[in-house]
């Protein structure tokens, strides 16, 4: 069983929540265009001035996605 990696983009400032939501739409488009699985994305408001958008990829696909989309950070995904 392959590990899954959660790639994360951080957004800060008064519009962080809206920007993270919008960025998630682009991540969904990328997953569809590249036919990737799993199809897991999301956005989370961490505070009024910090939100994240994320997508989950199989570890074998992580390098290619990372190089194409340049996330701010990543972590091992646990369901």
Helices and strands: H and E segment counts in the chain? 2, 4
Q: Can you list the domains of the chain with their CATH numbers?
A: 4-72 (3.30.70)
Strand partners of residue 5 = 57, 76
Q: Give, for 78, the enclosing helix (H) or strand (E).
A: none
Note the pTM of the prediction, 2 decimals. Answer: 0.95
Q: Convert the pLDDT of each residue in 26-79 to its tens digit.
A: 999 999 999 999 999 999 999 999 999 999 999 999 999 999 999 999 999 998
Whether a cis peptide bond, with omega within 30° of 0, leads into 38 is yes
């Amino acid at each position: 069983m392959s590990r899954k990696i959660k790639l994360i983009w951080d957004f800060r400032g008064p519009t962080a929540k809206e920007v993270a939501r919008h960025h998630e739409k682009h991540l969904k488009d990328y997953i569809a265009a590249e036919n990737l699985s799993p199809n897991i994305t999301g956005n989370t408001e961490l505070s009024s001035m910090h939100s994240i958008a994320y997508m989950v990829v199989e570890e074998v696909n992580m390098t290619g996605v990372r190089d194409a989309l340049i996330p701010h950070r990543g972590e091992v995904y646990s369901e």
